[in-house]
């Protein structure tokens, strides 16, 4: 067990500082203060962050920390913080760690007892979720999905069954193809939202069925940054009783199907465990023979 009191001492620590996802006014007063007061700002791309920091009026020393150098850099930064250095970590936009590097540094700090102090602030998925019109509780955030459609399909199957709102990020040049794949797995009338260019001048929400939104983006090339949200599955599954399930198995067996195949089919149709159905089927058959 480990207990961390973020503000107990003046020693070194890691601040996780969110930055705007578009609108520069979304930087908080506290975020700006910490970026100004830290000994260093660790950022993914010192040039990108240099522009942002100049525009919000922060001048400080920058260190690079990105996914390609994170493994070697993390121990160095941890050592600096152990010696009293305060580091503020930012990503190119939004919350560090959310589909961005940072996790390795957070883990290394926790491992070595360096306090990790998170600041609240902008993140694209939460901004999209609250305006989607879908239930915000529960939700599942997937980040970026794999690029190949064969690798995307298992995720879409999960989203199809999910009783939670599903959220993922997608690059504009892949969006039309991804929506086409989505339409092969989920029902065409399932509702989705494409939230585009949040907090920016071209902010837009495209709401509709998968078929409508997919058709729209096949015809209108997607531009800008996107968050995709899929409504929860609200179908009420009919729950069959054990006697009903066993009767269904027996009826299939009477048609000539093997016990094994009949159990497998009934279990799959009712989304229950085939081992459990197997046990119930055989227990009841044995009891009725007695
Ligand atoms: N750390 C960021 C966050 O907290 O959301 C996410 C960074 S991830 C590398 C970048 C992706 O986030 C984009 O490709 C896009 O899918 C989404 N994103 C970032 N800014 C956005 C915006 N203004 N509108 C819509 N999506 C955005």
C-alpha R_g of the chain: 26
Identify the residue whose C-alpha is closest to ligand 1 atom 16. Answer: 169
Nearest CA residue ID for atom 8, ligand 1:
99
Residue at a domain's end among 62, 84, 118: 118
* Cα–Cα distance, 65 to 154 (Å, whole number): 33
- pLDDT value at 126 more than 70: yes
In a domain, 222, yes or no: yes
Q: Is the pLDDT of residue 150 over 60?
A: yes
Under the banding of pLDDT at 50, 70 and 90, the label for residue 287 is: confident
pTM exceeding 0.85: no
Residue 7 pLDDT more than 80?
Answer: no
**Total structural domains in the chain?**
3
Whether ligand 1 lies within 6 angstroms of the CB of 126 is answered as no
Q: Are 125 and 227 in contact (CB under 8 A)?
A: yes
Residue 22: give its domain's CATH number: 3.40.1010.10
- Residue-wise pLDDT for 29-83, tens only, equals 999 999 999 999 999 999 999 999 999 999 999 999 998 998 899 999 999 999 9
Residue 223 Cα to ligand 1 middle (Å): 13
Is 172 a domain residue?
A: yes
Q: Which atom of ligand 1 is nearest to the CA of 98?
A: 1
Please determine, for residue 153, whether its predicted confidence score (pLDDT) is greater than 90.
yes
* Interatomic CA distance for residues 196 and 203, integer angstroms: 6
> Chain-wide mean pLDDT for the chain?
93
Q: Tell me if 237 is assigned to some domain.
A: no
For every residue of 74-140, DSSP letters joined together read HHHHHHHHHTT-EEEE--SSBSTTTTSS-HHHHHHHHHTT--EEE-----HHHHHHHHH-S--SSEE
Note if the bond before 138 is cis, omega within 30 degrees.
Answer: yes
Q: Is residue 1 one of the residues assigned to a domain?
A: no
Examine the domain organization and report whether 98 and 113 are in the same domain: yes
7 lies in a domain?
A: no
Asked if 43 and 91 sit in the same domain, the reply is yes
Q: What pLDDT score does 225 carry?
A: 98
Q: Which of 200-204, 240-244, 279-283 has the highest mean pLDDT?
A: 200-204
Q: Are residues 129 and 65 in the same domain?
A: no
Do 111 and 130 lie in one domain? The reply is: no
Q: Is the distance from the beta carbon of residue 230 to the nearest atom of ligand 1 less than 6 Å?
A: no
The pLDDT tens digits for 217-276 are 999 999 999 999 999 998 876 678 888 899 999 999 999 999 999 999 888 888 788 888
Tell me which of 209, 230, 251 is where a domain ends: 230
The confidence score (pLDDT) of residue 195 equals 98
Domain that holds residue 43: 13-118
> Would 84 be classed as within a structural domain?
yes
Tokens 């949040």, located at residue: 198
**Residue 154 placed within a domain:** yes
Which two structure tokens, joined as six digits, stand for 57?
A: 């009026």
- Report the half-sphere exposure of 164 (CA within 13 A, side-chain side): 12
Q: Are residues 146 and 209 in the same domain?
A: yes
For 170, the token pair is 């997608």
Q: Is residue 153 part of a domain?
A: yes
From 88, 118, 148, give the residue that closes a domain.
Answer: 118
Q: How far is the CA of 77 from the centre of ligand 1 (A)?
A: 26
CA–centroid distance, 124 to ligand 1, in Å, is 5
**Which structure tokens are listed for 35?**
């970026």
Which pLDDT band holds residue 170 (cuts at 50, 70, 90)?
very high
């Amino acid at each position: 067990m480990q207990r961390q009191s973020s503000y107990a001492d003046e020693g070194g620590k890691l601040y996780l500082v969110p930055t705007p996802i578009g609108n520069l006014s979304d930087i908080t007063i506290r975020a700006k203060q910490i970026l100004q007061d830290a000994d260093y700002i660790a950022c993914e791309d010192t040039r990108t962050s240099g522009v942002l920091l100049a525009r919000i009026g922060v001048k400080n020393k920058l260190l690079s920390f990105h996914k390609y150098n994170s493994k070697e850099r993390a121990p160095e930064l941890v050592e600096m913080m152990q010696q009293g250095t305060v580091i503020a970590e930012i990503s190119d936009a939004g919350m560090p760690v959310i589909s961005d590097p940072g996790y390795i540094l957070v883990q290394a700090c926790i491992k070595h007892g360096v306090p990790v102090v998170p600041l609240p602030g902008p993140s694209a998925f939460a901004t999209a979720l609250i305006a989607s019109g879908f239930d915000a509780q529960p939700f599942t955030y997937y980040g970026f999905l794999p690029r190949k459609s064969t690798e995307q399909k298992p995720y879409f199957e999960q989203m199809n069954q999910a009783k939670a709102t599903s959220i993922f990020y997608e690059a504009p040049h892949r969006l039309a193809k991804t929506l086409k794949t989505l339409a092969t797995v989920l029902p065409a009338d399932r509702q989705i939202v494409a939230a585009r260019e949040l907090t920016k001048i071209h902010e837009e929400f495209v709401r509709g069925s998968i078929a409508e939104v997919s058709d729209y983006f096949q015809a209108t090339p997607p531009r800008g940054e996107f968050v995709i949200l899929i409504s929860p599955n609200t179908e009420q599954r009919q729950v069959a009783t054990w006697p009903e399930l066993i009767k269904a198995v027996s009826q299939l067996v009477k048609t000539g199907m093997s016990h094994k195949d009949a159990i497998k089919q009934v279990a799959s149709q009712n989304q229950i465990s085939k081992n459990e159905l197997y046990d119930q089927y055989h227990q009841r058959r044995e009891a009725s023979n007695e």
